[in-house]
Chains A and B, each alone.
Chain A
Amino acid sequence: MRRASRYPLGDVTVFSLIIINKAGGLIYQREYQAGLRSLSTNDYLVLAGTFHGVHAITRSITPKLPLAQTSPATTTPGGGGSAPPAGYSYPNPGIAASGLEHLETEKFRLTCFQTLTGTKFLLFTDPMTGNVDTIMNKIYELYADYVMKNPFYQLEMPVRCEAFDRHLGAWLRGRT
């Protein structure tokens, strides 16, 4: 079942993609909708830097629970007279705290995927778009192939790889 397109030029799901390196620098930015209003290069750089900072903040403000203590009396943290906890840990210690992952408005959804190496992929999509994870994985694979494996691509520098543009563009257009 396909819903009627909300857009004059067809069924748009992915608006644009931004890639931010691990230092917060903008290294890639593309629109996938013809005629989409774009910001100035400087605005994109500021956006990338700001998002990088906000992402780091969201990670650092992740609530931490007090560590379980040896004495059974402290099962209710903050209860009267209980000793201060020995330390704090994340609710699920096996999984590292992530930063901001989704940001949603009435008009669009921003999905952030941070790789284990620290690179961030920001995808602007329609809020109704499903399977953003699949799209994200595919983008990451294409990035690994056409950017990282290009011997002349310098790590952490802006991505100017024509093959990456081509394959990504073709794949995103092909899936709608």
Chain B
Amino acid sequence: MSSSKASRIGEETRIDKVNAELVTLTYGTIVAQLCQDYDSDYQEVNKQLDKMGYNIGMRLIEDFLAKSGVGRCANFRETADMIAKVGFKIFLNVAPTVTNWTSDNNQFSLIFDENPLADFVELPDDGRAQDELWFSNILCGVLRGALEMVQMQIEAHFVSDILRGDDTTEMRVSLVRYIEDEMPPEEE
């Protein structure tokens, strides 16, 4: 599937929307509360955000598949286009740029020109948040959970964030492996 087709699906898939500021404020509150609960242990906050995202992704993938009607991607490059141009487009109304592919086509970066989760946000100036907290880390978890449900084990992390004073907000995504049709875990 060509990337222009992915863009078209992203544009045409209609999904109920809520006020963007509600999302921003809700998410901001969650992160702030986590920082408080974990006593500004930002590593732990990152971890919790990732875990929350993972649980969201495992559920959200069904919504993505049902509403967009897309089929299985032929390769990881196509998957990347789907994530950027359909997934982010229909759920967050942004379309990050897919770039910085490794030569084996197993790793890419998503560059976010805008990030609705981070509107109005200034990281705490305790001297550590700027270096330790990945504010939008929930997105990494979402991708990990969603792709795991469609038989792809990936690893995702932020490498830079405008909130930290970097020039761009960049997430690095690497394919660990395709989960082959293995015997499903015992279910009792």
A and B bind? yes
Interface residues of A (CB under 8 A from B): 21-25, 94-96, 115-117, 119, 137, 140-141, 143-145, 148-149, 155-156
Q: A23-B185, A116-B150, A155-B59 are in contact. Are A137 and B66 (CB under 8 A)?
A: yes
Q: A96-B72, A144-B67 are in contact. Are A117 and B185 (CB under 8 A)?
A: no
Contact residues, B31-64 vs A (CB, 8 A) = 58-63
> B residues within 8 A CB of A143?
62, 66
Closest-CB distance, B81 to chain A (whole angstroms): 16
CB–CB B61/A117 < 8 A: yes
**Cα–Cα distance between A94 and B78 once the two chains are bound (Å):** 12
Closest CB in chain A relative to B151 CB, distance in Å = 8
Residues of A within 8 A of B63 (CB): 144-145, 148-149
- In angstroms, Cα B184 to Cα A155, docked, is 14
Interface class of chain A by DSSP: loop
| Given A116-B150, A144-B67, A155-B59; 14 other pairs, CB 8 A cutoff | A95-B71, A115-B65, A115-B66, A117-B149, A137-B69, A141-B67, A144-B62, A144-B63, A144-B66, A145-B63, A148-B60, A149-B59, A155-B58, A156-B187
Query: In the bound complex, what is the Cα–Cα distance between A148 and B62 (angstroms)?
Result: 7
Listed residue (B58, B62, B65, B74) with the most chain A CB atoms within 10 angstroms of its CB: B62
Bound Cα distance from A116 to B178, whole angstroms: 13
- B72 to chain A: which residues have CB within 8 Å? 95-96, 116
**CB-nearest residue of chain B to A157:** B187
**B59–A148 touching, CB < 8 Å:** yes
Closest 7 CB pairs of A and B: A23-B184, A144-B63, A144-B66, A144-B62, A148-B59, A140-B66, A117-B149
B62 pairs with A117, CB closer than 8 A: yes
Note all chain B residues with C-beta closer than 8 A to A24. 184, 187
Closest residue on chain A to residue B150 by CB atoms: A116
List the A side residues contacting B187 at CB < 8 Å.
21, 23-25, 156
Docked complex Cα distance between A23 and B188 (Å): 10
Shortest C-beta distance, A167 to chain B (Å), equals 14
CA distance A21 to B149 in the complex (A): 12
Residues of A within 8 A of B58 (CB): 155
Contact between chains at A115 and B185 (CB < 8 Å): no
Q: How far is the CA of A31 from the CA of B66 in the complex (A)?
A: 23
- CB–CB A141/B66 < 8 A: yes
Q: How far is the CB of B18 from chain A (nearest CB, A)?
A: 13
Expressed in whole angstroms, the Cα–Cα distance for A62 and B184 within the complex equals: 21
A96 to B187, CA, bound (A): 26
Provide the bound-state CA to CA distance between A25 and B187, in Å.
8
* Contact (Cβ within 8 A) B150 A117: yes
- CB neighbours (8 Å) of A115 from chain B are 62, 65-66
CB-CB contacts below 8 Å: B47-103 with A: 58-63, 65-67, 69, 71-72, 74
Nearest CB on B from A76, distance (A): 29
A and B contact pairs by CB, cutoff 8 A, 10 listed: A23-B187, A25-B187, A96-B72, A115-B65, A115-B66, A117-B62, A140-B62, A143-B62, A143-B66, A149-B59
- A contact residues around B60 at 8 Å (CB): 148
B6 to chain A, nearest CB (A): 16
- Provide the bound-state CA to CA distance between A141 and B59, in Å: 12
